[in-house]
Amino acid sequence: MKRTGLLSFLIIFIGIVFIARLFYLQILNNSYNSPLLNNSAVKVMYDYPERGYIFDRNGVLMVANQLSYDVMVIPREVKPLDTVSFCALLKITKEEFKEKIARASRYSTRIPSTFLAQVSKDDYASLQEILYKFKGFYIQKRSLREYPNNSAANVLGYISEVNDAMISNKSNYHLGELIGTAGVEKTYEKILRGVKGVKFIQRDRFNREIGPFKNGIYDTLPISGHDLTLTIDAVLQQYGEALMANKRGGIVAIEPATGEILAMVSTPTYDPNLMVGRDRSKNFTKFYLDSINLPLLDRGLQAQYPPGSPFKVISALVALQENVITPESSIQCFGGYKYGSGKGAYMRCHCETNGSPVALNKAIYRSCNSYFATAYRKVIEKFPTPTEGLNVWSKHAKSFGLGNYLDNDLSVGQKGSIPDGNLYNKIYPNGRWRSTATISNAIGQGEVLTTPIQLVNMTAAIANEGFYYTPHIAKKIKGKTLDKKFTTPIYTTIDKKYFKPVIEGLFDVFENPRGTARGSIVEGIQICGKTGTSENPHGQDHSIFIAFAPKDNPKIAIAVFVENGYWGSRWAGPIATLMIEKYLNRETSRPLLEERMFEGSIQEEYDKQLKEILKVEK
């Protein structure tokens, strides 16, 4: 019966082959099982939500939206067309046309991508009438950012088209869509963006749309982005920007009782409206490549300077905490401090006290280097080895939020630097270093670096007598409570009682007839502050000022940094006090001083430096 078996055998064999093939196709070979998006039977249309508005703390609109029109393309639906008239219509060159088509095709031939972004309203009107002739192209409405008061570019940031890397990282972004890439737009992207709506449309094999896919059960409506209220005071921000005109530097002001950032100025800056629309990429490139003015650098957050004299306050507080001085202990200063036997071991001092006893109060308002160097040395030498001493000192300084990232809701930041024993062990590998080698730290020079925001945070901690809230920029997010880390106070390692005498000293900086900021005194406001002049190897000293006011119930703490501004009371002091006055009184009483700040320019100094740099390079 051998003959009867052949056909049965073949039937079973073929059956197994077919099932194996189906198994391969339907189960093993997943490449065919593509999601809806890659499915040629389904067309995807996005409905873009309106991005959330951004307001300042008083409800002033800072960022709004305007309508824009994007020309979209689905490459595989494009039919041969009259490129000359098409390019003329869109005002692009033929090369651009080719490049754009190639770019869209590379992304996907089926999924729509942006062919030409942000066509103006006038172009839109004429396009709309003719575009139907060009198959595969259509217009999509989208909202665009608008900045009504032309300020706070560094705070607000900007949005830009997602790049290829972002697309592959974030599956819910597609070619041509916008994403916040700097500032608040970046940190609060999720809240501002909203959720785009999706419509799936069933197509047949001729690519004709034949109705909603599965009666629209997968379709979603767009959800508008949430509005965001910032802690920024738009008026103060704009005022700060005006004061800093023609000067490089940064101002950061915060409310000590909450850690809310009231103003964050960085100059040179740019008009945020330049980062919108079709000229965006041109402008961006211009700013990006400007290595002299660095307009994209947020100096309030990213520029690290030696803090100079304001840092002496920390030296004093650490010495008080470590019980090596009392507010009453005094020294004598004869124009300098000799800390070693060598000839160079001498720190000059400009306190001009001429040997009269200098206690804490006078040391602060006269900014006496000798006093703080002595106090610093006492702290370090309290411990058996300088490494231990410096580590304790470093721990105290860092508890003011210095020397590390603040971990807040700003998109950029810098660590700054607070040295500890390990750093010097590395610099002097044989371990043979003493407190005197690091003496410059006492007066905010040496290895100490801070950013303006760290400095103002330190000021707030002093104003609060021992604690601070992490400085943050968001005040209210619709429907969402603020992150807990912004509402929990962070305590410094200095006891509250030691702040009183220090604050008195800071008050005398203005009140004492010999105070270093006597010239910036403001009628009716009790300001505590400290001037600073930080040495700088490249040119003139930086002008620095920290302050808070009013003394008994601090409403604002501020740090001002003016690059190459000679000395603290020349630029930074007046700017800081004008800002305080503006914030507390909403108006200023010193029109002449104000005028001088508005008009004052350090451009000459900057040009001189640039020339020297160019000379060196030659």
Partner 1 sequence: MRSRKDNIFHGIDWILVLFYFVFIFLGWINIYAATIINDNQSELLNFSTEYGKQLIWIGLSIPIILLILMFEAKFYEKYASIIYGSSLLLLAGLFILGKNINGSTSWYAIGSFSFQPSEIAKAATALAIAKLVSDKQFNLKKLSAQAQALLLLFFPAVLIIMQPDPGSALVYTAFIFVLYREGLPFYYITIGFIASFLFVITLLLGYPVTLISTSILFVCILLFFIFYRLKAFKKGWIKITGIYLISLMFIFSVDFVFNHVFEQHHRDRFNIILGKTVDTKGIGYNTNQSVTTIASGGFFGKGFLQGERTQGNFVPEQQTDYIFTTIGEEWGFIGSGLVIVLFVAFFLRIINRAEQQKSNFSRIYGYSIVAIFFIHFVINLGMVIGLVPTIGIPLPFFSYGGSSLWGFTILLFIFIRLDANKTYEW
Residue type, 269: T
Stretch that binds partner 1, among 200-208, 326-334, 348-356, 402-410 (CB under 8 A): 200-208
Q: How far apart are CA 190 and CA 184, in angstroms?
A: 11
Using the rule CB under 8 A, give the single segment among 1-9, 102-110, 303-311, 437-445 that binds partner 1.
Answer: 1-9
Contact map string, positions 40 to 79, toward partner 1, x by CB under 8 A: xxx-------------------------------------
376 touches partner 1 (CB under 8 A)? no
**Of 36-44, 108-116, 359-367, 375-383, which part binds partner 1 (CB under 8 A)?**
36-44
| Span of 5-13, 150-158, 228-236, 434-442 interacting with partner 1 by CB under 8 A | 5-13
Query: Rounded CA gap, 412 and 522, in Å?
Result: 34
Smallest distance, Å, CB 34 to partner 1? 8
For the four alpha carbons of 91, 97, 101 and 107, in that order, the dihedral sign comes to: negative
User: How do beta strands 42-47 and 336-338 pair?
Assistant: unpaired
- Binding of partner 1 at residue 170 (CB under 8 A)? no
Element (H, E) at 266: strand 260-267
CB of 73 to partner 1, least distance (A): 20
CA distance 68 to 117: 8
Among 202, 281, 391, 536, binds partner 1 (CB under 8 A): 202
Mark 203-222 with x for binding to partner 1 (rule: CB under 8 A) and - for no binding. Answer: xxx----xx-xx--------
- What strand order describes the sheet that includes 42-47? 42-47, 197-203, 209-212
- The residue within the footprint of partner 1, chosen from 34, 220, 422, 553 (CB under 8 A), is 34
Structure tokens at 365: 């308002």
Nearest distance from C-beta of residue 133 to partner 1, angstroms: 25
Q: In this structure, which long-range contacts are made by residues 97-100, counting pairs with CB atoms below 8 Å and at least 24 apart in sequence?
A: 100/73
Residue with tokens 């009231």: 262
- Residue 231 phi/psi, 5-degree rounding, is -80, -10
- Which one of 18-26, 394-402, 410-418, 598-606 is the stretch in contact with partner 1 (CB under 8 A)? 18-26
Smallest distance, Å, CB 45 to partner 1? 16
| Structure tokens that stand for 592 in this block | 């002449």
Q: Where are the alpha helices (DSSP H) in 62-152?
A: 83-90, 94-107, 121-130
Q: Does residue 613 interact with partner 1 by CB under 8 A? A: no
7 vs 616, which CB is nearer to partner 1?
7
Among 14, 221, 292, 610, binds partner 1 (CB under 8 A): 14
CB of 35 to partner 1, least distance (A): 11
Start-end of H helices in 150-260: 153-156, 164-169, 183-187, 189-193, 234-243
CB distance 309 to 350 below 8 Å: no
What is the total count of residues that contact partner 1 (CB under 8 A)? 35
Beta bridge partners of 472: 260
Question: Closest approach of Cβ 219 to partner 1, in Å?
Answer: 14
Of the ranges 32-40, 185-193, 476-484, 498-506, which one interacts with partner 1 (CB under 8 A)?
A: 32-40
Nearer to partner 1 by Cβ, of 212 and 222: the residue is 212
CA distances from 123 to 72, 118, 223, 288 (A): 15, 10, 28, 29
Q: With 0-12 CB in 10 A as exposed, 13-18 as middle and 19+ as buried, what is 503? A: buried
The Cα 185–Cα 191 span in angstroms is: 9
CB of 119 to partner 1, least distance (A): 32
Taking the complex as a whole, the smallest distance from the CB of residue 215 to partner 1 amounts, in Å, to: 10
Q: Which is nearer to partner 1, 132 or 206 (CB)?
A: 206
Nearer to partner 1, 26 or 83 (CB): 26
Contacting positions for partner 1 (CB under 8 A)? 3-4, 6-8, 10-12, 14-15, 17-19, 21-23, 25-27, 29, 32-34, 39-42, 202-205, 210-211, 213-214
